[in-house]
Amino acid sequence: MQEVRVGLVGAGFAADFHARCYAEVSRARASVVAVTSARAESREAFAAKHNIPSVYGSLEEMLAGEELDLIDLCVPTNLHAEYILQAARAGKHVIVEKPLTGYCGEPDTPEDELIGETVPRQQMMDAVLAECADLEQAIEDAGVSLMYAENWVYAPALQKARRLIEASGGTILRMVAEESHSGSHASYAKFWRLAGGGSLLRTGSHPIGGVLYLKQAEGLARDGRAIRPRSVVAEVGYLTRIASFMAEEEKYLKTGLADCEDWGAAIITFEDGSVAEVASSDVVLGGIYNHVQVFSSQGRIECNLNPNNQCVAYGPSEAAFGEEYLAEKISTRAGWSFPSPDEHWASGYPQEIEDFVACVAEGRQPLSGWLLARDVVAVTYAAYVSAEEGRRVEVPF
């Protein structure tokens, strides 16, 4: 099987665990042979850490200077569309971190404008879906694959749920899903013009992607056709702007969002009449809270991605367990905790990278691809319109 040569764009949090996952790929060989990022010092340090031989100042330089099979984009949302187009036009397969894209302003929008407070959500949705159409056309014209890095699709718990549903032959009637935590560590997440939205897009992409995938899989297994979302009713909020919270002297939640919401909830209705209730927020302490509940005609399934009770520990002090990793975003190491034996595996990160590499080597499509990426964006922006206008919004196909 051919070796897949990877060019990595970005040198931050997501790029770091992608780089580690490539070293674990077994079904097809993969080598990260080049990296680029915005800051010279960060890309040089990243290359040294992960033994990447070539470092470039831009994606354009990397595409010109390397023989690559796959471009892996681990950059802020405002760069996704531009870089997908560059990679596709160069004939390269593309991995893009969630979300696929987002509304980040117009070419003449001032950099300091808080577009999350000034631009109508319908205008945003129209622009984003037009951009999705351009991306899809470019990908089709180039004959390359877009691989959507939605790790929830690959999480072992969610894949087990899929197999149980398919084995039962039942119908998913209702789902409840959430990803929440105490706030993003990424500085760009404060601004809509960089992130493309607030918690509902940045964090909610995971549970939205998870429930959309399960309905897609159900329809494909039974009828050979994905079941897709039809309409959305939603609400968003700015909970850390509540006066009493702002007056608190000691804060354990990340604050300072400029024009992005920190909570969102949506009810998604699918083509077949089934429903999903999805929530996301930046106001949950105690570590990441990721779960999916599936209520089907043949059973009930609960997927506890984070936290789970594979390992439970009590530490009388912050220093009780030294430097040993416990779990992401916990606010204290003292008291009871849920140390994850292998958090990346439980979250599906190595599995998604292995699937993507095998897709390039074998010439097939991934479990998480264009349709899911596009529908997540469409559902999210339909939810933004619903929250702003107070009505049910149809999801544009």
**Rounded distance, CA 307 to CA 309, Å?**
7
Report the share of the chain in percent with pLDDT over 90.
Answer: 87
What type of residue sits at position 240? T
SS3 326: coil
**Rounded distance, CA 327 to CA 306, Å?**
9
The pLDDT value recorded for residue 329 is 85
**Rounded distance, CA 110 to CA 379, Å?**
28
As a 3-state breakdown, the chain gives helix, strand, coil percent values, each rounded to 5, of 40, 20, 40
The pLDDT value recorded for residue 29 is 87
Concatenated DSSP letters for 261-287?
-SEEEEEEEETTS-EEEEEEES---SS
210 and 159 in contact (C-beta within 8 Å)? no
The pLDDT value recorded for residue 27 is 65
The pLDDT value recorded for residue 308 is 83
Domains identified in the chain and CATH numbers: 4-150+351-363 (3.40.50.720), 152-347+377-394 (3.30.360.10)
Within a 13 Å sphere around the CA of 276, how many CA atoms are in the beta-carbon half? 32
327 and 318 in contact (C-beta within 8 Å)? no
What lies within 8 Å, CB to CB, of 252 at 6+ separation is 182, 285, 331
273 and 261 in contact (C-beta within 8 Å)? no
366 and 354 in contact (C-beta within 8 Å)? no
Instruction: List, for residues 346-370, the tens digit of each pLDDT value.
Output: 999 999 999 999 999 999 999 999 9
In the chain, which stretches have pLDDT less than 70?
A: 1, 26-27
The pLDDT value recorded for residue 1 is 54
What type of residue sits at position 215? K
Of 96, 106, 188, nearest to 136 (Cα)? 96
Average pLDDT, the chain: 95
